[in-house]
Each structure stands twice: as C-alpha cells, then as structure tokens.
C-alpha cells in the first residue's frame, strides 16, 4: 500500500469506522451511566436549588486558590494542554475546512503560525504531564495502562500534525496519513478510556453541584 492509498483509506473508510466506533462507544457509556438512575432525595433542600448543578459545571473549571497553591504544576499544565488542544483542534484552517465539509459549519481560523506555536506549547505541556505522572508518587499510584494509552493517543495527533506541517523526517503524504490515522485511533480509544471525561465531567459536576446545593453549599 502506497502512502497515497493509505491517505485515501484514512480519509474515507477509516474515518467512517472511527467515527462509528466513537459514536457507538460514547452512546453506550452515557447509557451505562444514566440507566443506573438515582433515588429521589427525600430530605427537604435548604432552599430551592434550580440551576445549582449548572453553576458547578462552570465554576469547577477554575480552581480554588488553595488548589493553585498545593497542586500548581497539575493545574498549570492541565490548563495549557487543554486550552492548547481546543485551539489546535478548532482553529487550524484545515480542521475548520474538514468540519465544514462534514457539517457545513464554519468559522474564522487563527493564523497558522500562532496555532503552530500553540502546538509546540501543548506538546511541551503534555511531555511535562507525562514526566509528572511517572515521577509523582500519587499520580504513579493511580495510573495504569489506560492512563498511558490515553496520553499517547492524545499526543500522537499533535505530534504527527506538527511533523506534517513542517515536513519533518517523513514524506508529507505519509505524515498526513499517519496524522489522520492517529486522530482516528484517538476516536476509537476515546470511549473506553478516561478520555470519556470530556463529556462525563459535565454529568459529574452537575451531580456534585446539585447534591451540595440541596445542603446549601455552593460546591
């Protein structure tokens, strides 16, 4: 199979298969969560609590000052690579074009040189995150195969994208094919690793905020 054939497969059937697995997997995961349900809380809430879950969905995005102080490295690298991933994913011109071709939606892109800089920062942040995970006793204790797999499938699309843009090491067509394949690997692995947090954290935060608000606490 030539690089071009690989690229064509990745753009065509490969993408279809990856998206299908991703959608099936995430639907299954959400079904597994919500189908468990929860018991109605019979204790009278301290005050009416509409919207409290939603408030925590947003408020939990910013850490408490004590958390900055105690978990600084985790917080900073976490912010950098998450924001970086969003910028690269959503504001690089070729990505916007792809989204446009699939959904018809479109928005202005950021200058490629800026996205390039963001990519470098994100790659560095992810490397720091990996080293931190390997060195820190707490993170190391909590980590298993799934954690390193999730890291790898997040790192690879960024790395291959960066290499393709700069024509590094390999032939451009092959790099582009590898880039798309790595993104597809991310989609396939996504529903079956902690990457599900991208969606489920909104559910978790909502429950947390709702449970606390019934007691009169903004969590």
- What is the smallest separation between the CB atom of 59 and another protein, expressed in angstroms? 10
Nearest to 208 by CA among 199, 197, 217, 198: 217
User: Does the footprint of another protein cover residue 207 (CB under 8 A)?
Assistant: yes
One residue of 12, 70, 97, 134 binding another protein per CB under 8 A: 70
Total site size for another protein, rule CB under 8 A: 59
Q: What is the largest CA-CA distance in the chain?
A: 67
User: Does the footprint of another protein cover residue 116 (CB under 8 A)?
Assistant: no
Residues 167 to 186: which contact another protein by CB under 8 A? none
* Secondary-structure breakdown of the chain: helix, strand, coil percentages, each rounded to the nearest 5: 80, 0, 20
Measured between alpha carbons, how far is 73 from 201 in angstroms, rounded to an integer? 21
Tokens describing residue 99: 């989204």
Which residues have C-beta within 8 Å of that of residue 172, sequence separation ≥ 6?
164
Nearest to 183 by CA among 2, 9, 19: 19
Q: Would you say 21 and 193 are in contact if contact means Cβ atoms under 8 Å apart?
A: no
Tokens describing residue 126: 């992810």
Q: Which stretch binds another protein (CB under 8 A): 6-14, 52-60, 90-98, 175-183?
A: 52-60
CB nearer to another protein: give 46 or 100: 46
User: Does the footprint of another protein cover residue 63 (CB under 8 A)?
Assistant: yes
Q: Which stretch binds another protein (CB under 8 A): 13-21, 98-106, 118-126, 140-148?
A: 140-148
Which string of x and - marks every residue 72-91 that binds another protein (by CB under 8 A)?
--xx--x-------------
- What is the smallest separation between the CB atom of 58 and another protein, expressed in angstroms? 11
Cα angle 108, 109, 110 (rounded to 5 degrees) comes to 125
User: Does the footprint of another protein cover residue 94 (CB under 8 A)?
Assistant: no
**Residue 201: what are its φ and ψ, rounded to 5°?**
-65, -25
Residues at the site binding another protein, with contacts judged by CB under 8 A: 28-29, 32-39, 41-44, 46, 56-57, 60-61, 63-64, 66-67, 70-71, 74-75, 78, 133, 136-143, 147, 192, 194, 196-197, 200-201, 203-209, 211-212, 214-219
């Amino acid at each position: 199979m030539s690089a071009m054939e690989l690229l064509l497969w990745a753009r065509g059937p490969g993408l279809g298969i990856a998206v299908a697995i991703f959608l099936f997997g995430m639907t299954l995961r959400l079904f597994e969560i919500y189908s468990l349900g929860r018991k109605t809380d019979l204790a009278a809430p301290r005050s009416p609590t509409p919207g409290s879950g939603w408030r925590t969905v947003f408020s939990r995005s910013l850490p408490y000052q004590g958390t900055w102080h105690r978990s600084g490295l985790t917080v900073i690298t976490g912010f950098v690579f998450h924001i970086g991933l969003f910028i690269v994913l959503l504001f690089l011109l070729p990505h916007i074009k792809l989204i446009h071709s699939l959904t018809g939606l479109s928005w202005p892109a950021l200058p490629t040189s800026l996205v390039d800089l963001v990519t470098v920062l994100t790659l560095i942040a992810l490397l720091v995150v990996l080293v931190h995970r390997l060195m820190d006793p707490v993170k190391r204790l909590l980590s298993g195969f799934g954690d390193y797999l999730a890291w790898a499938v997040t790192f690879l699309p960024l790395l291959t994208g960066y290499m393709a843009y700069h024509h590094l090491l390999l032939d451009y067509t092959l790099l582009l094919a590898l880039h798309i394949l790595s993104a597809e690997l991310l989609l396939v692995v996504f529903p079956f690793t902690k990457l599900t947090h991208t969606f489920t954290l909104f559910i978790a935060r909502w429950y947390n905020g709702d449970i606390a608000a019934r007691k009169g606490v903004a969590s």
